[in-house]
Amino acid sequence: MRLFLISLQIAACTIAAPKAIDNPTPVAKATYSVPQEHKTAYFASGCFWCVEAVFEHVDGVQEAISGYAGGTTINPNYRQVVSGKTGHAESIKIVYDPKKVSFKTLVQVFFGSHDPTTLNRQGPDKGTHYRSIAFYETENEKKIIEKTIENLTKIKRYRNPIVTEVKKLDVFYQAEDYHQDFEENNPNNPYIRAVSKPRVSQFLQAYPEIVKAGLE
């Protein structure tokens, strides 16, 4: 597996936030319906703008949706999540065609597109809401994640221990509409230009064999 690390030091994609409380309704106005023949996978590895953009380039991925998972607050909004008081991490829901890409490959992309050894941090973004989490829905998915970590540790891929949480998915809350396809819709945003685009570019160089045609 190939690895690339992001270490750009610029302002993080975050804002000041109030105290987190449960909200009566979801923050997303529209949700994506998963086709019956497709499956889902969930990961957290830093700012979801970046992670979403990476997985959108993977052949076999139908959709990558930004949201929140891993915490306790019901129907959290962005300001609450970045406060660090909800327990949630910025996460991605991946809808994929198992005939074209496997869960194992998605796990490899996950570990290969961020630094899983930095606790509560990814690049310039700091806080528990930016922590590394590989979610699973089945015991088989859990075994795949744990085996991947075991193999990476065995070959000493990293200097420091992997701190990625392996966590059973409880619930995924889709983020506000303006977060969806953020890189595509905001190509000139300073954070996108300085962090997200370089992260995607390095992914494309590292995994050319699994990139969607036309997005190389």
Contacts of 211 (CB under 8 A, 6+ apart): 57, 58, 59, 204
50 is catalytic: no
Interval 151-178: pLDDT, tens = 999 999 999 999 999 999 999 999 999 9
Interval 20-31: pLDDT, tens = 678 888 888 777
- Domain assignments of the chain as residue spans, ordered by start: 39-204
Nearest to 90 by CA among 98, 80, 81, 99: 81
Q: Which pLDDT value is given to residue 138?
A: 98
Q: Which of the four CATH numbers 2.60.120.10, 3.30.390.30, 3.40.50.970, 3.30.1060.10 does domain 39-204 have?
A: 3.30.1060.10
pLDDT of 53 strictly over 60: yes
What mean pLDDT, rounded, does the chain reach? 90
Tokens of 139: 């015991």
| Cα separation, 58 vs 213, whole angstroms | 9
Q: Which pLDDT value is given to residue 216?
A: 65
Q: Which pLDDT value is given to residue 19?
A: 55
Candidates 12, 47, 81, 133; catalytic one: 47
Q: Which pLDDT value is given to residue 75?
A: 96
Average pLDDT over residues 175-187: 95
Provide the 3-class DSSP secondary structure of residue 59.
coil
Tokens of 151: 């193999």
Q: Which pLDDT value is given to residue 21?
A: 78
